[in-house]
Chain A
Amino acid sequence: MKSFSIDRRQFLFMSGIMGITLIAGEPETSIPKTQAEEKMTYNAKDYNRLIGMEGFSETLLKNHFTLYQGYVTNTNKVLEALGQMLKEGKVATPEYAEMKRRLGWEFNGMRLHEFYFENLGGKGSVSKTGKLYQKLVESFGSYEAWEKDFKATGAMRGIGWVVLYQDILSGKFINFWINEHDGGHPSGGMPILIMDVFEHAFMIDYGLKRADYIEAFFRNINWTETEKRLLLHKG
Chain B
Amino acid sequence: MAYTAKDYNKLIGMEGFSETLLKNHFTLYQGYVTNTNKVLDSLSEMAKGGKIGTPEYAELKRRCGWEFNGMRLHELYFENLGGKGALNKSGKLGKKLAEEFGSYENWEADFKGVGAMRGIGWAILYQDAVSGKLINQWINEHDVGHPAGCNPLLIMDVFEHAFMTDYGLKRADYIAAFFKNIKWEAVEGRLK
Please report A residues at the B interface, Cβ cutoff 8 Å.
59, 63, 66-67, 70, 74, 105-106, 157-159, 180, 198-200, 203-204, 207-208
Contacts and interface: CB of A to CB of B under 8 A. Distances in A.
B26 to A, nearest CB: 11
Contacts of A180: 119-120, 141
Given A74-B118, A199-B160, A200-B160, 9 more contacts: A158-B141, A159-B141, A159-B159, A203-B24, A203-B160, A203-B161, A207-B20, A207-B24, A208-B28
Interface in B101-143: 118-120, 141
Nearest to A109: B118
B168 A203 contact: no
B141 A200 contact: no
A204 B164 contact: yes
| Interface of chain A: mostly helix, strand, loop or mixed | helix
Given A157-B35, A208-B24, A203 B118 contact: no
A202 to B, nearest CB: 10
Closest A-B pairs by Cβ, 10 of them: A199-B160, A200-B160, A199-B161, A203-B164, A159-B120, A63-B169, A208-B24, A63-B168, A207-B24, A66-B169
Contact of A203 (B35, B119, B165, B169): B165
Interface residues of B, number: 19
| Interface of chain B: mostly helix, strand, loop or mixed | helix
Interface of B: 20, 24, 27-28, 31, 35, 66-67, 118-120, 141, 159-161, 164-165, 168-169
B94 to A, nearest CB: 32
A195 B126 CA distance: 36
B28 to A, nearest CB: 7
B93 to A, nearest CB: 30
A67 B168 CA distance: 11
Nearest to B165: A203
A207 B161 CA distance: 9
A199 B159 CA distance: 8
A200 B165 CA distance: 9
10 contacts: A63-B164, A63-B168, A157-B67, A158-B66, A158-B141, A180-B120, A199-B164, A204-B164, A204-B165, A207-B24
